[in-house]
Amino acid sequence: MINSQPTRNLALDLVRVTEAAALAAGRYMGRGDKILADGAAVDGMRLMLNSIQMDGVIVIGEGEKDQAPMLYNGEKLGTGEPPVLDIAVDPVDGTRPLAHGLPNSIATVAFAPRGSMFNPGPFFYMNKIAVGPVAKDVIDIDASVAHNLRKIAKAKGENVEDLTVVVLDRPRHEKLIFEIRKAGARIKLIPDGDIAGAMMTAMPETNIDVMMGIGGTPEGVIATAAMRCLGGNIMGKLHPSRQEEIDEAKRIGLDINKPLLMNDLISSEDVFFAATGITSGDLLEGVSYFPNGAKTDSLVMRGLTGTVRRIISTHRLDRLSGISSIQY
């Protein structure tokens, strides 16, 4: 296993990637076509990733090679020179909100040293719990909802009734929602975007204390990169939805009942994460366009130093169109 440490700060390279994806996808807000929106983000992201001095390979992508033009698992990106990196991408976290003009659609990407990212393989879903720095040592994915909420409240010096839990609005969460309500905590339901949901727990200005529930396994790995930078914690457990997944786990000797800790999801602290808002939400403002230009709102961070930057960028699209093949 290669474990090549990045030798330079890649944060600004990374934010240019998510900005390009957001600028391209933002044109499709509310137009009802999530496929076109995602394709535009992919094209912008791929072009910018290939411009970066790195030997990168996608570990968390959008499918297999025959499903191009998606950024597929195993795709090699960059100039081929060191550093040697794993890449996780979600060009549009929240394609449905974007297509319908709803909040909380973001473009995200993460880097980590080669061999440090968990490869989810065929396992699409996992149960997750995420919290910010204050409660990072008290959560347990195997414990009950009520137990976790009591522990989190105690760590924060609050009552359970003071806590707000973010949950994906899905029928599968009916029992979870019942248990949260029974414990006395408040709930914020989100239609999509559990990367942003996890991040909000580590950003006090959002007033979110914990994220709970079943979401995408790839999104869990990407969220782990952000949580390493933000000082929070995320735990997961694979949640097979098909018999094929259970059979594959047995074949490769993977214990699906074993909790996945942060070190299991990304084993290195030298991670980079960036997100740019596509539609405005709790975390970031969406892309705004004006004659010959646009404005973006991004977060970019590094795990090794814990530095988090918020970058508001103004883009001269009339100039970019003369030097870039991306359709802004």
CATH of the domain at 34: 3.30.540.10
- State whether 162 and 249 are in the same domain: yes
In a domain, 96, yes or no: yes
- State whether 229 and 166 are in the same domain: yes
d(CA 273, CA 8): 14
For 42, the domain range is 11-116+271-323
Residue ending a domain, among 265, 297, 314, is 265
The side-by-side arrangement of strands in the sheet containing 210-216 is 186-190, 164-168, 210-216, 125-131, 233-238
- State whether 91 and 188 are in the same domain: no
Residue ending a domain, among 265, 294, 315, is 265
- State whether 286 and 234 are in the same domain: no
- Interval 298-320 mean pLDDT: 93
Cα 89 to chain centroid distance, Å, stands at 8
In tens, the pLDDT along 257-281 reads 899 999 999 999 999 999 999 999 9
The pLDDT of residue 4: 52
In a domain, 3, yes or no: no
- State whether 134 and 247 are in the same domain: yes
Residue 117 predicted with pLDDT over 60: yes
Looking from the CA of 80 toward its CB, the CA atoms found within 13 Å total: 0
Compute, in degrees rounded to 10, the torsion defined by CA atoms 271, 276, 104, 118. Answer: -20
- State whether 129 and 260 are in the same domain: yes
Query: How far from each other are the two terminal CA atoms of the chain, in whole angstroms?
Result: 39
In a domain, 2, yes or no: no
- State whether 247 and 286 are in the same domain: no
In a domain, 246, yes or no: yes
| Per-residue pLDDT band at 322 (split at 50, 70, 90) | low
In tens, the pLDDT along 122-173 reads 888 999 999 999 999 999 999 999 999 999 999 999 999 999 999 999 999 9
The reported pTM is 0.92
| Per-residue pLDDT band at 121 (split at 50, 70, 90) | confident
- State whether 132 and 112 are in the same domain: no
The pLDDT of residue 114: 97
Residue 38 predicted with pLDDT over 60: yes
In a domain, 57, yes or no: yes
- State whether 17 and 99 are in the same domain: yes
Phi and psi at 302, nearest 5°, equal -130, 130
- State whether 181 and 227 are in the same domain: yes
The pLDDT of residue 195: 95
**Tally of domains in the chain:** 2
- 241 vs 105, residue with greater confidence: 105
In a domain, 180, yes or no: yes
CATH of the domain at 185: 3.40.190.90
Residue 189 predicted with pLDDT over 70: yes
In a domain, 4, yes or no: no
Residue ending a domain, among 229, 245, 265, is 265
In a domain, 138, yes or no: yes
SS3 assignment, position 252:
helix
- State whether 221 and 277 are in the same domain: no
Q: 3-state SS of 161-210?
A: HHCEEEEECCHHHHHHHHHHHHHCCEEEEECCCHHHHHHHCCCHHHCCCE
- State whether 259 and 303 are in the same domain: no
Question: Residue 71 in contact with residue 63, Cβ under 8 Å?
Answer: no
Element (H, E) at 265: helix 262-265
d(CA 30, CA 8): 39
The contacts of residue 78 (CB under 8 Å, 6+ apart) are 49, 50, 52, 53, 54, 55, 56, 85
d(CA 61, CA 134): 31
Residue 161 tokens, joined: 């009734």
| Per-residue pLDDT band at 5 (split at 50, 70, 90) | low
Residue 9 predicted with pLDDT over 60: yes
d(CA 52, CA 129): 33
